[in-house]
Amino acid sequence: MKTNRTATQVKASAPIDDRVLDAMIGQTRPRIERAMKILRRPQARVGVISSPLGRLLIAESDRGLAAIHFLFISGGERTLAMLRRKFDLIENDASARRIGAEIDRVFEGDLSATARPVDLSLVESDFQRRAYTSLRKVPPGAVITYHGLAATVGQPHSQRAIGNTMASNPIPIFVPCHRVIRSDGTIGNYGGGVDNKIKLLRAEGFEVGATCDCRRSP
What residues are annotated to the active site?
Answer: 177
- In the DSSP assignment, the letter for residue 49 is E
φ and ψ of 55, to 5 deg: -75, 135
Using CB atoms within 10 A of its CB, is residue 41 exposed (0-12), middle (13-18) or buried (19+)? exposed
Amino acid at 139: P
First to last CA, the chain: 102
Query: Please, are residues 169 and 118 in contact by the beta-carbon 8 Å criterion?
Result: no
Amino acid at 50: S
- 3-state DSSP assignment of residue 77: helix
Nearest residue to 140 via CA among 105, 184, 169: 105
Output b/e per residue, 49-80; b: 16+ Cβ within 10 A: bebebeebbbbbbeeebbbbbbeeeeeeeebb
